[in-house]
């Protein structure tokens, strides 16, 4: 039976959690990683709908596998498979799907679309990526940080995270994590490509924007980057290559970070643009651990929203 509207809870941004919930979710994700495929199945007889307007590898597969390992079924719904692709109002689709499914995992463009889906859906709605936010990825990233720097890395003073590149949905979600957890966040973005100013204001005193990647990365524990042109920005790719020249995570830039610093990238990567092959494949890279951790973070999130843990 679908969750009733009075019981449902959505996850559209990192700040839909409070500090203690976020830390507990990361801890639970680590537990799921240890349990592997043989863990409990708290979501038996549940079904998760994946409503994806954007292409996906890691997000789709990790959610499908997470649902399966938790005992739930999953259904993939692309625009060509549903009436959304033929103009049915989001509110109508949300209300109908809520009568069949127990959770909607939505990957779309404008953030207002997922907000409307959540407003009318009677079951939990999860943001699997919008142009404004990518909270599920940051859950996996935070798990990766604790694996590399200890289970208390997110709570003890001194953690410094650097972001190099576009002030995009990933940068916004890192800002929200900074708001909740209080670590130091340095963002290196070209002029005109800063993250959400409202989020920057909320993280005042902890987050700072630089125009120099070298300044932003100095002394960082974590160096994070993403493609210069995201899905839907392909027509801007050439202009962005010019504007982002020098915003590349390479060996000389990593030499500015701490000797034990790790590199994160949500993938797919454009090797030779925002990150070099040398760094992506090097000893400081945690990129493929980070990708695997999408699965474990998704399991913890679905468990929280559907089983109440």
Known binder of ligand: residue 230? yes
Known binder of ligand: residue 266? yes
Question: Considering 13, 28, 134, 265, which one is annotated as catalytic?
Answer: 134
Known binder of ligand: residue 136? yes
- The DSSP element (H or E) to which 279 belongs, if any, is helix 277-280
- Rounded CA-CA distance 151/258 in Å is 19
Known binder of ligand: residue 172? no
Question: Considering 60, 148, 240, 294, which one is annotated as catalytic?
Answer: 294
134 noted as active-site residue: yes
Known binder of ligand: residue 19? no
Q: ∠ CA(187), CA(189), CA(191), 5° rounding?
A: 135
Beta-bridged to residue 198, according to DSSP, are: none
Question: Considering 13, 46, 60, 107, which one is annotated as catalytic?
Answer: 107
137 noted as active-site residue: yes
Known binder of ligand: residue 170? no
Question: Considering 46, 226, 284, 296, which one is annotated as catalytic?
Answer: 226
266 noted as active-site residue: yes
Instruction: Tell me the backbone φ, ψ of residue 201, rounded to 5 degrees.
Output: -65, -40
CA trace torsion 154, 155, 159, 164 (10° rounding): 40
Known binder of ligand: residue 231? yes
Known binder of ligand: residue 137? yes
Known binder of ligand: residue 169? yes
Known binder of ligand: residue 89? no
- Rounded CA-CA distance 185/179 in Å is 10
Known binder of ligand: residue 28? no
Instruction: Tell me the backbone φ, ψ of residue 238, rounded to 5 degrees.
Output: -65, -45
Query: Which stretches does DSSP call E strand in 53-110?
Result: 73-77, 103-107
Asked if 196 and 134 count as a contact pair (C-beta separation under 8 A), the reply is no
Under the phi-then-psi rule, with left for phi > 0, alpha for psi from -120 to 50, and beta for the rest, what region is 263?
A: beta
Known binder of ligand: residue 294? yes
- Using the 8-state DSSP alphabet, how is residue 3 labeled? P
16 noted as active-site residue: no
Known binder of ligand: residue 267? yes
Q: Is 75 helix (H, G, I), strand (E, B) or coil?
A: strand
Question: Considering 131, 221, 266, 284, which one is annotated as catalytic?
Answer: 266
Known binder of ligand: residue 56? yes
Taking CA atoms, 196 is separated from 12, 109, 309, in Å, by 16, 16, 31
Taking CA atoms, 37 is separated from 107, 164, 236, 296, in Å, by 26, 35, 42, 10
Known binder of ligand: residue 1? no
Question: Considering 28, 46, 69, 137, which one is annotated as catalytic?
Answer: 137
Binding residues for L-ornithine: 169, 226, 230-231
Binding residues: 56-59, 83, 107, 134-137, 169, 226, 230-231, 266-267, 294
Residues annotated as part of the active site: 107, 134, 137, 226, 266, 294
Binding residues for carbamoyl phosphate: 56-59, 83, 107, 134-137, 266-267, 294
């Amino acid at each position: 039976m679908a969750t009733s509207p009075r019981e449902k809870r959505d996850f559209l941004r990192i700040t839909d959690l409070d500090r203690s919930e976020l830390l507990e979710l990361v801890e639970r994700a680590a537990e799921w990683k240890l349990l592997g495929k043989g863990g409990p199945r708290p979501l038996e007889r549940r079904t998760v709908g994946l409503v994806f307007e954007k292409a996906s590898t890691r997000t789709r597969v990790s959610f499908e596998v997470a649902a399966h390992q938790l005992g739930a079924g999953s259904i993939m719904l692309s625009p060509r498979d549903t009436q959304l692709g033929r103009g049915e109002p989001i509110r109508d689709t949300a209300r109908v799907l809520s009568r069949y499914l127990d959770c909607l995992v939505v990957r779309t463009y404008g953030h207002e679309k997922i907000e409307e889906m959540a407003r009318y859906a009677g079951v939990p709605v999860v943001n699997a990526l919008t142009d404004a936010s990518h909270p599920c990825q940051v859950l996996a990233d935070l798990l990766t940080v604790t694996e590399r720097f200890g289970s208390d890395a997110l709570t003890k003073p001194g953690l410094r995270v650097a972001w190099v590149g576009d002030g995009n949905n990933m940068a916004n979600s890192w800002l929200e994590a900074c708001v909740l957890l209080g670590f130091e966040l340095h963002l290196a973005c070209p002029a005109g490509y800063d993250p959400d100013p409202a989020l920057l204001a909320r993280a005042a005193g902890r987050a700072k924007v630089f125009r120099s990647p070298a300044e932003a990365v100095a002394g960082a524990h974590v160096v994070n980057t993403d493609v210069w042109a995201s899905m839907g920005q392909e027509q801007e790719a050439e202009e962005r290559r010019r504007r982002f020249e020098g915003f590349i995570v390479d060996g000389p830039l990593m030499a500015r970070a701490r000797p034990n610093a790790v590199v994160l990238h949500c993938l797919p990567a454009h090797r030779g643009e925002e990150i070099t092959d040398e760094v992506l494949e090097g000893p400081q890279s945690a990129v493929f651990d980070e990708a695997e951790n999408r699965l474990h973070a998704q399991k913890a999130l679905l468990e929280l929203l559907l089983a109440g843990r």
